[in-house]
Amino acid sequence: MTGVGSAVRRLYLSVYNWAVFFGWAQVLYYAVTTLLESGHEAVYAAVERPLQFAQTAAFLEILHGLVGLVRSPVSATLPQIGSRLFLTWGILWSFPETHSHILVTSLVISWSITEIIRYSFFGMKETFGFAPSWLLWLRYSTFMVLYPTGISSEVGLIYIALPYMKATEKYCLRMPNKWNFSFDFSYASILSLAVYVPGSPHMFTYMLAQRKKALAKAKAA
Amino acid sequence: MKVSVVSRSGREVVRGGVELKDSAKVADLQDAIYAKTKKYYPARQRLTLPIQPGKSGKPVVLSAKASLSEYCEKGSGSLTVVFKDLGPQVFYSTLFFFEYLGPLLIYPMFYYLPVYKYFGYEGERVMHPVQTYAMYYWCFHYFKRIMETFFVHRFSHATSPVSNVFRNCAYYWTFGAYIAYYCNHPLYTPVSELQMKIGFGFGILCQIANFYCHILLRNLRSPSGNGGYQIPRGFLFNIVTCANYTTEIYQWLGFNIATQTVAGYIFLVVAASIMTNWALGKHRRLKKLFDGKEGRPKYPRRWVILPPFL
């Protein structure tokens, strides 16, 4: 009985990982080809749908961690996926004025390369039971370049969107109302920028620790 | 007897060790360590026995009141202890005082001072009666907590790490300001007078019940601080393990019914989940300790914190 459950789990995770891999591969392909053909202004329009699919599908990873399907701690996946969903829907989808900015290109390329490596790594492990050493090395090395470029793009795009948030008052709730509550999206976004200050070094050092652990284990094997 | 004091990495904390009488207590050892290091006062010290090679499990923590000989091998005239620095410590009363002083001062600032000018609200602000009563209720609550800190509570641990001061104050002061902002807002919408009376009436009742719960808890602990866990009895404790938390949650519920702010309900949910974790831990410990075996009393069936849910 436990064997069947385990097989179903592996099958599900294999399908999930390769499906999302395919989504991110599309994102990278469309981003690069559009960049070469039409320039960075057109990149967002080209990648919008696959980006939204791939990034939103990542939400399932939080659930995987919560139900114990995988061993990733929710405290690590939640902030990263949360910030990306915020960027994908809260900034890019909500404020079209950001679409033509070059930071969209750097964001999308950073994210997609990172995720292609990560999901193929997971996909290999679930499907074949192992991953090649070069993929392991990429998995635990590329973040050193891609985290800085990705995070800079995220912060930059939030900053660029701030004046449009204020102008449109999108996602704002004003008093008076019966529940005596108000919400201002631009203030919330400024707060999220503040969270990046301690959050980014924390994620980076977390990944450095993971790298040391993983590569040491591989060397021992 | 000779006592070696080493850090967890094996480094010698007190060079040459400490020489003590065979009848010495752990507290004497702690005083001796402080005398030699000039830095690690007893409250900062966590002393444990070394973990035997090949064995696992949690190390044995030395109790300050116990005799050192209790931890020695039979007939051995020496002992090794592992030292850990807990960092600068503050008394719990100090910690609690500053936790509660913040909300007590911050909330009235939003009520009395023209702070909303800086949020873009010019002109005169008309206060509703419920806002005045909410301010009285809030200040009474935190004043009560400060008084209980100094005159009611007895603490099992004498001190707390300094880092907890910043964390706890951030929690209380931020929520205090957040709730105060909405409760005293120029565009505040009051609830009906009946709802206000129900909320504040229920809340005051629960605050008084909470105070009585704290009296009962205080009497569980002797002034000298001796004695471990005991089964709380009397009043609501006969029904709920952590009746003090129950009444605390319900008094905030009363406040929220009367004031009706989202910020207040968010605070209620956060506070309730924190206290629920504490309550579950305590309930588990009491049930484990009082299992009805070997002459020990059996822990009665009780709710944990929030009947009829938990």
* pLDDT tens sequence across A92-126: 888 898 888 888 889 888 989 888 888 888 888 77
Query: Regarding predicted confidence, which is higher, A20 or B28?
Result: A20
Q: What domains lie within chain B, and their CATH numbers?
A: 1-86 (3.10.20.90), 88-287 (no CATH)
Query: Which uninterrupted H or E stretch holds B18?
Result: strand B18-19
How buried is residue A119: exposed, middle or buried, by Cβ count under 10 Å (0-12/13-18/19+)? buried
Cis peptide bond N-terminal to B232, omega within 30: no
pLDDT(A195) > 70: yes
Which amino acid is residue A7, in one-letter code?
A
Is A177 in Cβ contact with B189 (below 8 Å)? Answer: yes
N- to C-terminal Cα separation, chain B: 52
Sorting pLDDT into bands at 50, 70 and 90, what band is A156? very high
Residues of A in contact with B259 (CB under 8 A): 180
Tokens of B166: 């910043």
Q: Give the pairing type, strands B2-7 and B18-19.
A: antiparallel
pLDDT in tens for each of the 310 residues of chain B? 777 787 767 767 776 777 777 777 788 787 787 787 777 778 777 778 777 677 667 677 777 767 777 677 656 677 777 887 778 888 888 888 998 999 999 999 899 888 888 888 878 788 889 999 999 999 999 999 898 888 888 776 678 888 888 888 999 999 999 999 999 989 898 989 899 999 999 998 898 999 888 888 878 766 655 566 677 777 777 788 888 888 989 889 999 999 989 999 999 999 998 888 888 888 877 877 777 776 777 777 677 777 777 7
Which ranges constitute the DSSP H helices of B187-298?
A: 193-220, 243-259, 262-289
A&B contacts, CB < 8 Å? 29
Dump pLDDT digits (tens) for A196-210: 888 888 778 888 897
Give CA–CA dist B86/B43, Å, rounded: 8
Is A176 in Cβ contact with B188 (below 8 Å)? Answer: yes
Give CA–CA dist A125/A119, Å, rounded: 10
Sheet holding B18-19, edge to edge: B18-19, B2-7, B78-85, B45-48
Which ranges constitute the DSSP H helices of B38-128?
A: 92-112
Q: Is A177 on the interface with B (CB under 8 A)?
A: yes
Residues of A in contact with B260 (CB under 8 A): 178-180
Residues of B in contact with A181 (CB under 8 A): 182, 261-263
Q: Is A178 on the interface with B (CB under 8 A)?
A: yes
Give the CA radius of gyration of chain B: 25
According to the model, what pLDDT value does residue B262 have?
A: 92
CA closest to A175 among chain B residues: B187
Which amino acid is residue B137, in one-letter code?
Y
3-state secondary structure of B210: helix
Q: Please confirm, yes or no, whether A126 is among the known catalytic residues.
A: no
pLDDT(A182) > 80: yes
> What's B188's DSSP letter?
-
CA closest to B191 among chain A residues: A178
Which ranges constitute the DSSP H helices of chain A?
A: 2-38, 43-57, 59-67, 74-85, 102-128, 133-139, 143-168, 185-220
Give CA–CA dist A207/A113, Å, rounded: 16
Number of separate domains in chain A: 1
Instruction: Give B278's contacts (C-beta < 8 A, 6+ positions apart).
Output: B242, B245
Q: Is A198 on the interface with B (CB under 8 A)?
A: no
**Boundaries of domain holding A14:** 1-220
Give CA–CA dist B260/B189, Å, rounded: 9
Cα of A182 to nearest chain B Cα, Å? 8
Q: Please confirm, yes or no, whether A29 is among the known catalytic residues.
A: no
Q: Is B184 on the interface with A (CB under 8 A)?
A: no
